[in-house]
Amino acid sequence: MDGAAVRATWWGHATVWLEDSGVRLLTDPLLGDRLAHLRRMRGPRPLLPGAPDAVLVSHLHADHLDVPSLRRIPADTTFVVPRGAAGLIHRRLGSHYSGNCVELAPGEETKIKDLRVRAVPAAHDGGRGPWSRLRGDALGFVVEGAVRTWFAGDTGLFDGMSELGPVDLALVPVGGWGPSLHPSQHLGPADGAEAVRRVGATEAIPIHYGTFWPVGMGRVRPHMFHSPGSDFVRAAEQLIPDVRAHLPAPGETVEIGAP
């Protein structure tokens, strides 16, 4: 890690604005207040400081590849997506968007200015949904610049996860939007800490919790909405005490490597 400022702003769910080496990346943008039966229940609507240099889309689920959110981003942005996703983007947004898609499979990589972006595996269903035949590999991404950042996307624990590291920063999912998450395809707070241990991160930010929740379910298992981030920090303190686990609120920025 060098002295360059690297900043990560968590905007809720899996949406992170990452600045590294003067390059601006946006992960899994979910920029509105509503998605089907889900509502933004915490934090402000994302207010981006400008156009990103690239958008990283981890998989095809609607809360990660959200077409209305992509429509708010300039079409000449680079969209790094799972192999097979460009066809969906072409049908929904047209060739001016799909023509700027870079499709990757696990192990493949691309350059975004001074950053190297490598697609890595994720243990998660890669389909668009039960109503769609469209499928693609669910991905995480390792971004190499002034620091090495692992954006996990959405994943469970899997064999070989330790081969992704070591990294300086882990953006790790620790919850979700529903009261029930399949443990083989999602990380809770304790498994999130274990994932950070496996990839050898020195700093971590919990994501993918405490933002969207089904309408009418605000009083149903509220701890599953509010608690995963703080539970992750406590789990990390026990399992990996040398790791600096941050707990930003939606819209807050963390400077990586800051004293």
pLDDT at residue 150 in the model: 98
- Residue 139: which residues within 8 A CB-CB, separation 6 or more? 58, 59, 82, 104, 106, 119, 120, 121, 122, 153
Q: What distance in Å separates the CA atoms of residue 254 and residue 31, rounded to the nearest whole number?
A: 20
pLDDT in tens, 220-247: 677 778 899 999 999 999 999 999 999 9
pLDDT in tens, 65-110: 999 999 999 999 999 999 989 999 999 999 999 999 999 999 999 9
CA atoms within 13 A on the CB side of 198: 18
| φ and ψ at residue 226, rounded to 5 degrees | -90, -30
Q: H or E element: which one contains 6? A: strand 6-10
Q: What distance in Å separates the CA atoms of residue 157 and residue 170, rounded to the nearest whole number?
A: 14
Task: Please give the model's pTM, rounded to 2 decimal places.
Answer: 0.93
Taking phi over 0 as left and psi of -120 to 50 as alpha, with beta for the rest, 113 belongs to left
- Residue 219: which residues within 8 A CB-CB, separation 6 or more? none
Q: To which residue do tokens 């490597």 refer?
A: 257
Q: What distance in Å separates the CA atoms of residue 68 and residue 115, rounded to the nearest whole number?
A: 27
pLDDT in tens, 118-132: 999 999 877 665 565
Beta strands in 57-121 (DSSP E): 78-82, 101-104, 109-112, 115-121
| φ and ψ at residue 20, rounded to 5 degrees | -145, 125
pLDDT at residue 96 in the model: 95
pLDDT at residue 130 in the model: 53
Q: What percent of the chain has pLDDT over 70?
A: 89
pLDDT at residue 1 in the model: 44
Q: H or E element: which one contains 170? A: strand 169-173
